[in-house]
């Protein structure tokens, strides 16, 4: 194992010592032990697919956050902070916090009391089989492809950072995930995600602490960044009045309405990868508290992701480059900033912990994809469309086999991406097509009882097609971005924001028009699924400090204060 781990290539960024390798190996041993220990607690469908619906608010909340806190996310956003400055924080604050609170207080009661196993399962209850089939098939297909894309990207990172062989990284990590998810189901995935959460903080927290010490504090850091780049790199909102006065080439309307109101709402409230963790909560209060706990910690994540990127701007002697330029010149790219900062401050032992945090982030992200894929395949595709008469034991076995097959498809996708790199761009774009329209469909279904089955189906379909249409238009004619993003000065990230906004509006418009033109659904059929026809269960007679609404208010106040401080 040790000789394999230390197989080197000349360009590696960091060198692991013996104690670092022991820490990495210990992590693998621990996650496999957890899977082995939980193997006897995944014998029924509720246990295997829903973790017995007995997770506390803290476990569900940290797992909910961890499922999104993958290694590529950490490295990618640290690189974005180096490239765009503190503007990258928007993806953690306005691009997450309002959506998480909306999920907790508005949507979670319906997901929870409907006892659905999945988001497509809710669509079946609300709109019927066609909407579920479309959502489930697209989700299953894209989730397993995304897992493969992330697997390849992470193996590539491990090759660049540590000099590990790509095949070794792909097979060791994927087999480990396959073993512990097959053995312990969702409970095993959730346990490992919570473990990963602690490892990420333990491994990454030292970088901003030591970095701020080296830079001489926040005020000095801002001065150094302003000298090396521009003052706009340390302001969240003041440069967003125009597309040309900020490094990201985006307008505040794109951030507020595209990212905050649509894209993040779509991701955090309807992407089953994250919502599945909350559905495993033990009661309604835990289900509402979990996203609020996640939101509280999400607000702190920029400290270990964005701040290292900003520190890199100030303290690294070399200038990092765009990926395409770095590949030609042999320099380091923006995305290398986190490993570079890790190598800058972390000696023996600490380096191993930092690398373990990256590996843990990758593996739990993959486990999240695989467990969500397994549930959707078994309950929303296999059971309704292929075999509806199987026993609970049969579906658990199907879940175990699907886990293995899902991992193998992901491995196959990883090798496909290795041969045809452009596939990565297409797969990532494909995933974004479904998010915004799905949010429109689900939220209308929950809040407006007049929404009908055909309305939900056609709205979802037209919203998705419009998203694909806009993406293809800009792909074929890059100058079309001026129409999609409303400005000739808009840059790439602005396209995602406005594309989400327009596809959401198309979805909502079509849903409303078709619903009004079709026969209303009887009220009795909508009980437990729609506001106004459902008695939302109380969280119980608990003190103020245990009420979700109280903590949501606390998080909201902190959210506004942080945005004002870094305005």
Partner 1 sequence: MISIWFFIGISLAVNGALILAAGIYQLVNPPADPGVVLYHLHANVWWGAALLVFGLIYCFKFAPKRKA
Residues 314-333 binding partner 1 (CB under 8 A) are: 315
Q: Alpha-carbon distance 5 to 203, whole Å?
A: 19
Q: Which SS3 state, helix, strand or coil, does residue 490 take?
A: coil
Residues 6 or more apart whose Cβ sits within 8 Å of residue 164:
5, 7, 155, 158
427 is a contact residue toward partner 1 (CB under 8 A) = no
x/- map, 265-304, partner 1, by CB under 8 A:
----------------------------------------
30 is a contact residue toward partner 1 (CB under 8 A) = yes
86 is a contact residue toward partner 1 (CB under 8 A) = no
Phi, psi of 321 (to 5 degrees): -125, 160
202 is a contact residue toward partner 1 (CB under 8 A) = yes
353 is a contact residue toward partner 1 (CB under 8 A) = yes
**Least Å distance between CB 39 and partner 1?**
12
Angle between helix 302-315 and 337-345 (nearest 10): 80
Q: Alpha-carbon distance 542 to 520, whole Å?
A: 39
Question: Of residues 39, 344, 394, 547, which one binds partner 1 by CB under 8 A?
Answer: 344
500 is a contact residue toward partner 1 (CB under 8 A) = no
Residues 6 or more apart whose Cβ sits within 8 Å of residue 505:
none
Q: What is the CA radius of gyration of the chain?
A: 23
**Least Å distance between CB 201 and partner 1?**
10
216 is a contact residue toward partner 1 (CB under 8 A) = no
199 is a contact residue toward partner 1 (CB under 8 A) = yes
Question: Of residues 107, 123, 194, 506, which one binds partner 1 by CB under 8 A?
Answer: 194
Q: Alpha-carbon distance 75 to 271, whole Å?
A: 22
Of 262, 42, 71, nearest in space to 154 by CA: 71
Among 178-186, 236-244, 342-350, 469-477, the segment contacting partner 1 (CB under 8 A): 342-350
23 is a contact residue toward partner 1 (CB under 8 A) = yes
Residues 164-193 binding partner 1 (CB under 8 A) are: 191
Question: Of residues 72, 86, 133, 346, which one binds partner 1 by CB under 8 A?
Answer: 346
Residues 447-466 binding partner 1 (CB under 8 A) are: none
Between 52 and 384, CB nearer to partner 1: 52
221 is a contact residue toward partner 1 (CB under 8 A) = no
Between 316 and 505, CB nearer to partner 1: 316
Of 59, 536, 94, nearest in space to 278 by CA: 59
Token duo for residue 18: 């013996």
Q: Cα separations (Å) of 361 from 93, 211, 555?
A: 20, 22, 25
Residues 49-68 binding partner 1 (CB under 8 A) are: 59
Q: How many residues at the interface with partner 1, by CB under 8 A?
A: 33
Q: Which SS3 state, helix, strand or coil, does residue 315 take?
A: helix
Q: Alpha-carbon distance 137 to 1, whole Å?
A: 39
Residue 321 gets which letter from DSSP?
Answer: B
37 is a contact residue toward partner 1 (CB under 8 A) = yes
DSSP structure string for 459-477 = HHHHHHHHHHHHHHHHHH-
Binding site for partner 1 (CB under 8 A): 17, 19, 22-23, 26-27, 30, 34, 37, 41, 59, 191, 194-195, 198-199, 202, 206, 210, 213-214, 315, 343-350, 352-353, 356
């Amino acid at each position: 194992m040790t000789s394999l781990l230390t197989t080197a290539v000349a360009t590696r960024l960091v060198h692991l010592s013996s104690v670092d390798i022991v820490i990495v190996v210990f992590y693998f041993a621990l996650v496999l032990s957890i899977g082995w220990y939980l193997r006897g607690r995944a014998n029924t469908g509720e246990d295997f697919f829903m973790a017995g619906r007995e997770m506390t608010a803290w476990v569900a909340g940290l797992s909910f956050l961890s499922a999104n806190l993958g290694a590529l996310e950490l490295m990618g956003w640290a690189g974005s902070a180096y490239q765009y400055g503190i503007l990258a924080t928007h993806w953690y604050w306005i691009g997450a916090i309002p959506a998480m609170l909306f999920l907790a207080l508005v949507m979670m009661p319906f997901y929870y009391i409907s006892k659905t196993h999945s988001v497509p399962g809710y669509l079946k209850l609300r709109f019927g089989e066609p909407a579920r089939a479309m959502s489930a098939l697209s989700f299953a297909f894209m989730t397993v492809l995304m897992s493969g894309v992330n697997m390849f990207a992470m193996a590539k990172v491990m090759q660049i950072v540590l000099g590990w062989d790509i095949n070794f990284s792909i097979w060791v990590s994927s087999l480990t995930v396959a073993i512990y998810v097959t053995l312990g189901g969702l409970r095993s995935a959730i346990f490992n995600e919570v473990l990963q959460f602690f490892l990420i903080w333990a491994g990454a927290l030292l970088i901003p602490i030591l970095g701020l010490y080296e830079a001489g504090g926040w005020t000095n850091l801002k001065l150094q960044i302003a000298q090396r780049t521009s003052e706009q790199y340390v302001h969240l909102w003041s440069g967003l009045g125009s597309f040309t006065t900020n490094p990201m080439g985006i307008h505040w309307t794109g951030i507020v309405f595209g990212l905050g109101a649509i894209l993040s709402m779509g991701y955090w409230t309807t992407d089953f990868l994250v919502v599945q963790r909350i559905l495993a909560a033990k009661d309604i209060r835990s289900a509402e508290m979990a996203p609020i706990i996640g939101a509280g910690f999400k607000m702190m994540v920029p400290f270990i992701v964005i701040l290292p990127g900003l520190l890199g701007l100030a303290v690294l002697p070399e200038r990092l480059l765009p990926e395409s330029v770095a590949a030609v010149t042999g320099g380091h790219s923006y995305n290398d900033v986190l490993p570079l900062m890790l190598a800058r401050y972390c000696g023996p032992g600490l380096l191993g912990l930092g690398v373990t945090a990256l590996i843990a982030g990758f593996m739990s992200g993959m486990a999240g994809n695989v467990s969500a894929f397994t549930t959707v395949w078994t309950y929303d595709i296999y059971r309704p469309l292929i075999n509806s008469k199987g026993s609970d034991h049969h579906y658990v076995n199907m879940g175990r086999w699907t886990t293995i097959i899902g991992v193998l498809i992901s491995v196959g996708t990883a090798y496909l991406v290795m041969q045809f790199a452009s596939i990565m761009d297409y797969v990532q774009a494909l995933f974004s097509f479904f998010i915004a329209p799905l949010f429109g469909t689900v939220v209308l279904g929950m809040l407006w009882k007049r929404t009908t089955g055909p309305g939900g189906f056609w709205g979802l379909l037209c919203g998705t097609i419009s998203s694909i249409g806009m993406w293809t238009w800009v792909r074929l004619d890059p100058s079309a971005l001026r129409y999609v993003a409303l400005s000739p000065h808009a840059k790439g990230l602005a396209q995602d924001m406005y594309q989400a906004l327009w596809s959401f509006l198309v979805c909502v418009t079509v849903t409303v028009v078709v619903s009004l033109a079709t026969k209303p659904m009887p009220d009795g059929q909508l009980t437990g699924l729609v506001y106004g026809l459902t008695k939302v269960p109380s969280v119980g007679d608990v003190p103020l400090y245990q009420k979700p609404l109280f903590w949501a208010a606390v998080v909201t106040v902190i959210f506004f204060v942080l945005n004002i401080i870094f305005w």
